[in-house]
């Protein structure tokens, strides 16, 4: 009888994510100017420093008037108002609008005292040197009220939010020139395999280009990480050890290849025999052989070498742990059946078409074209196949 291994095996996807999260350092904060904050994650809630709009203003080009003076206006019987001045963005009218009067006003210009409504320029015609005819009543709905969007002191952005382009624009509108963001995680990246060749070099039969270094690097950047590229190491315990030792200063090392059951899968051997293992194998397909361990205090996550498998494990386990955000899923109608596996969650590649998702067809993890042709990973829970017409959860690629 063989003894049970001294670490968990065949863990769930959720547990795998939790094990990795537990090995990552706590996220400290740093302050960066807005121009460097794109893609970063907010470390603190962000209050508005000012109100928006900063004054009550017009939403349109037209005239500002008292609604009550204009209620009877129609195209056949327009209302006549006397124009007493102009309010434009950056140069307010300082007087007061009284009965029978109005002020020409432009989008974003402060509403003059006394006025409470706007009539758009399309509904106006000039009537003599100082008169204007309104074919429609002026409307209070076209007034934007001070603080109607947000008020000074109100929290508008939240800790943990990723700074997308719209959120960055909002941060500027709130009055911030810099933001407190989480320090980026430093992720060292290593491909392994005697057959793996850097693109640009000649390829002999039996070899394969190193697509993982390229794909994973890009995915790490998308996940907001700093990447320490270690290139690629051959299948030898010494070479792997030397490469791992070069990952000093990283928060975590991500490797690909060498974690399955094969004789030359030394990455697994190294962690199992000389390192510390948090788990080996996840109840998922593709990507089942993934391993998490540590080497001299450095957390090491070993992805399977197959580019499709490594992509799936990255999306489902690594990215959520690195970003602290669970995968974003979308519910779509299945257009084809999706097979379930008895004891694993399946992540089948799917093609999205008009609100439905269909099976990409070739689900072998060696089919590299699926990296480009598939739009989504269709999540099929253990033992729960989907039929056409069923709703399925998908992760967008
Ligand atoms: P392994 O996980 O090392 O057993 O590798 C599984 C499969 O993935 C094999 O067909 C490898 O040739 C392939 N593979 C491993 N590493 C890479 C890589 N960096 N780029 C592309 N294919 C790889
Ligand atoms: Mg290998």
Per-residue model confidence as pLDDT tens digits over 30-72: 999 999 999 999 999 999 999 999 999 999 999 999 999 999 9
Closest ligand (CA of 304):
1
> Which atom, in ligand 1's list, is nearest to the CA of 256?
16
What stretch of H or E contains 392? strand 391-396
- The response to whether residue 210 sits with its C-beta less than 6 Å from ligand 1 reads yes
Q: Are strands 329-334 and 356-359 parallel, antiparallel or unpaired?
A: parallel
Which residues surround the ion ligand 2 when the cut-off is CB under 5 Å? Answer: 193, 257-258, 305
- Reference 255, options 292, 223, 280, 204; nearest CA is 292
Nearest CA to ligand 1 atom 20: 210
Q: How far is the CA of 196 from the centre of ligand 2 (A)?
A: 8
Other beta carbons less than 10 A from residue 234's beta carbon: 15
- The response to whether residue 191 sits with its C-beta less than 6 Å from ligand 1 reads yes
Q: What is the predicted pLDDT for the residue at 2?
A: 64
Q: What is the predicted pLDDT for the residue at 3?
A: 75
Q: How far is the CA of 42 from the centre of ligand 1 (A)?
A: 36
Tell me how far apart the alpha carbons of residues 343 and 186 are, in angstroms, rounded to a whole number: 34
Closest ligand (CA of 194):
2
For 189-215, how does the pLDDT look when each residue is reduced to its tens digit (9 = 90+)? 999 999 999 999 999 999 999 999 999
Q: How far is the CA of 371 from the centre of ligand 1 (A)?
A: 15
Single pTM value for the model: 0.88
Nearest CA to ligand 1 atom 7: 306
Closest ligand (CA of 215):
1
φ and ψ at 213, to 5 degrees? -55, -40
- The response to whether residue 278 sits with its C-beta less than 6 Å from ligand 1 reads no
Q: How far is the CA of 262 from the centre of ligand 2 (A)?
A: 8
Q: What is the predicted pLDDT for the residue at 274?
A: 83
Nearest CA to ligand 1 atom 10: 306
What stretch of H or E contains 266? helix 266-269
Tell me how far apart the alpha carbons of residues 79 and 65 are, in angstroms, rounded to a whole number: 11
Q: How far is the CA of 12 from the centre of ligand 1 (A)?
A: 23
Residue 273 vs residues 165, 196, 268: alpha-carbon distances, Å: 46, 25, 8
Q: How far is the CA of 235 from the centre of ligand 2 (A)?
A: 7
Q: How far is the CA of 305 from the centre of ligand 1 (A)?
A: 4
293: helix, strand or coil: strand
> Which atom, in ligand 1's list, is nearest to the CA of 232?
19
Beta strands in 226-306 (DSSP E): 226-233, 252-256, 276-282, 284-285, 291-295, 298-303
Residue 114 near residue 133 (C-beta atoms within 8 A):
no
> Which atom, in ligand 1's list, is nearest to the CA of 262?
4
- The response to whether residue 309 sits with its C-beta less than 6 Å from ligand 1 reads no
- How do the pLDDT tens digits run along the chain, 397 residues long? 567 788 999 999 999 999 999 999 999 999 999 999 999 999 999 999 999 999 999 999 999 999 999 999 999 999 999 999 999 999 999 999 999 999 999 999 999 999 999 999 999 999 999 999 999 999 999 999 999 999 999 999 999 999 999 999 999 999 999 999 999 999 999 999 999 999 999 999 999 999 999 999 999 999 999 999 999 999 999 999 999 998 989 999 999 999 999 999 999 999 988 889 999 999 999 999 999 999 989 999 999 999 999 999 999 999 999 999 999 999 999 999 999 999 999 999 999 998 999 999 999 888 999 989 999 999 999 999 999 999 999 999 9
Closest ligand (CA of 289):
1
Q: How far is the CA of 261 from the centre of ligand 1 (A)?
A: 13
Tell me how far apart the alpha carbons of residues 243 and 230 are, in angstroms, rounded to a whole number: 7
């Amino acid at each position: 009888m063989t003894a049970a291994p001294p670490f968990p095996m065949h863990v769930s996807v959720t547990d795998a994510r939790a094990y990795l999260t537990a090995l990552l350092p706590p996220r400290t904060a740093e302050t960066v100017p807005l121009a460097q904050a794109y893609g970063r994650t907010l470390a603190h809630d962000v209050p508005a420093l000012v109100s928006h709009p900063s004054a009550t203003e017009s939403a349109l080009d037209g005239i500002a008037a008292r609604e009550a003076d204009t209620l009877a206006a129609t195209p056949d019987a327009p209302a006549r108002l006397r124009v007493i001045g102009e309010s434009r963005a950056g140069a307010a009218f300082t007087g007061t609008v009284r009965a029978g009067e109005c002020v020409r006003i432009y989008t974003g210009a402060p509403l003059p005292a006394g006025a409470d409504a706007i009539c758009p320029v399309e509904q106006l015609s000039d009537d003599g040197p100082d008169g204007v005819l309104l074919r429609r009543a002026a409307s209070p709905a076209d007034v934007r009220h001070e603080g109607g969007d947000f008020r000074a002191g109100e929290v508008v952005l939240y800790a943990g939010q990723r700074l997308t382009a719209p959120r960055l624009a909002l941060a500027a509108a709130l009055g911030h020139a810099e933001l407190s963001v989480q320090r980026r995680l430093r992720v060292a990246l290593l491909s392994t395999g005697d057959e793996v060749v850097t693109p640009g070099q000649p390829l002999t039969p039996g070899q394969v280009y190193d697509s993982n270094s390229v794909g994973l690097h890009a995915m790490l950047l998308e996940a907001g990480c700093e990447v320490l590229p270690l290139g690629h190491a051959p299948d030898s315990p010494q070479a792997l050890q030397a490469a791992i030792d070069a990952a000093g200063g990283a928060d975590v090392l991500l490797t690909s290849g060498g974690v399955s059951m094969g004789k030359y899968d030394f990455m697994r051997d190294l962690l199992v025999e000389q390192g510390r293992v948090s788990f080996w194998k996840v109840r998922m397909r593709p990507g089942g052989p993934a391993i998490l361990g540590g080497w001299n205090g450095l957390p090491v996550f070993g992805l399977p070498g197959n580019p499709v498998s490594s992509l799936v494990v990255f999306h489902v386990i690594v990215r959520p742990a690195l970003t602290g955000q669970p995968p974003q899923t979308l519910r779509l109608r299945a257009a084809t059946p999706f097979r379930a596996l008895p004891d694993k969650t399946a992540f089948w590649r799917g093609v999205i078409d008009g609100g439905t998702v269909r099976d990409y067809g070739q689900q072998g993890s060696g089919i590299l074209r699926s990296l480009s042709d598939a739009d989504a990973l269709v999540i099929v829970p253990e033992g729960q196949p989907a039929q056409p017409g069923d709703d399925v959860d998908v992760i967008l690629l």
